[in-house]
Amino acid sequence: MAAPRLSVRDDGSWKTVNQPHVKDGDVWKSIHNVWIRDANTWKLAHKTAVGQYSAGTTTRWEGADFQGISPYAGVYTVPDDGTRYLRVIVVGQSGGGGGGAQTTGDHDNQHKTCSYEAYAAYSYRGGTGGAARHYEFTYEVESGDRFQAAFWNVVPGYGLGNLGQPSATLYLPTYGTAVAAGTQVCGTTGGAAIGENWFKSYSNYNLSIVAGGGAGGIGACVKVQSNCSGTGYDIPGTGTGEGAQGATGSIAVTDSLSRIVTTHTNGAHAAYSWEAYGPGIGGVFTTDGSDGRAGYIQITEYK
């Protein structure tokens, strides 16, 4: 529901008051909330919208700075300087990239195909890690309100390199015993980001934002569809291909005081794999999947 606004009668027309002021001595001061007495009940008649305030100080915590140490990044207290709203960004941890899959052989690392005695090698990339959850919102505050940022279990995704498990390789010999049709190898699924990034009210859960980690990218697979005389192989077919991307991290929101004014973003963090907060890249050839990232928490004051 929209916040209430005062109106004044001006030359026969009612006009909305965006930001009321009162004169205190010789100084005009803005008013955030206006209350009126209706019978025996005080009722909120006006609340100044966030759009009437300007962005001020920004505070940011990087999850990567808290790997292997205390999860509590810091405590923030709303200053007594007219700050009325916070714009908060919580970006969770992203998943690691899945392992790739490839064929190889004994003819310059290629194997014979079933077509015209040609040689080839096939390579498929592992799935991209699950994207970090991005939750961005504007929250009404009062002077002295306290909040806490935390990064729990910051082990962001870890690509297959951290697990010591390389992308999968299917060796198909030109001579000797043929590899049977239906034989398949798959890269290992990337590591899920098991941690959670939190922003919550200090000492209670009136506000609690918990961004869960993205899942690992699925490993690619390569499968022998059929073999032919002279140990040649057909590869394309069911069971062969790139790995799928892992699922985006989850979000849990508690706002028991109903102070969230606007939710700006709630979904996958829009970052490419190679960017600072993107998911892990899927492995290809002999390269393993890369790590996911640890995310961040950011608040900007509006006053």
| Chain mean pLDDT for the chain | 86
- Residue 165 pLDDT: 44
Instruction: Tell me what percent of the residues of the chain surpass a pLDDT of 90.
Output: 45
Give yes or no for residue 158 having a pLDDT over 50: yes
pLDDT in the model for residue 159: 58
Q: Which position has the higher pLDDT, 239 or 80? A: 80
CA distance 262 to 287: 43
The pLDDT value recorded for residue 115 is 75
> 12 or 254: which carries more pLDDT confidence?
254
The residue with greater pLDDT, 47 or 130, is: 130
Contacts (Cβ under 8 Å, ≥6 apart) of 289: 96, 97, 98, 99, 100, 126, 129, 159, 160, 161, 167, 187, 190, 216, 217, 280, 281, 282, 283
Predicted local distance difference test score (pLDDT) of residue 132: 92
Question: How many residues are recorded in the chain?
Answer: 303
Of 163 and 170, the structure prediction assigns the larger pLDDT to 170
What mean pLDDT comes out for the span 123-151? 94
Position 62 scores a pLDDT of 92
Residue 252 scores a pLDDT above 60: yes
The whole-number average pLDDT for the span 103-130 is 88
Residues 119/259, Cβ–Cβ less than 8 Å: no
Residue 1 has pLDDT above 60, yes or no: no
CA dist 106 and 116 (Å) reads: 18
For range 242-271, the mean pLDDT: 93
List, for residues 65-115, the tens digit of each pLDDT value: 887 776 888 899 999 999 999 999 999 999 988 889 999 998 899 999 987
Q: How many CA atoms lie within 13 A of 134 on its CB side?
A: 12
How does pLDDT run across 24-78, given as a tens digit for each residue?
A: 888 887 778 777 888 888 887 778 888 888 999 999 999 888 877 768 888 999 9
**Across 157-186, average pLDDT:** 75
Q: What is the pLDDT of residue 199?
A: 97
Nearest C-alpha neighbor of 133 from the set 99, 91, 101, 164: 91
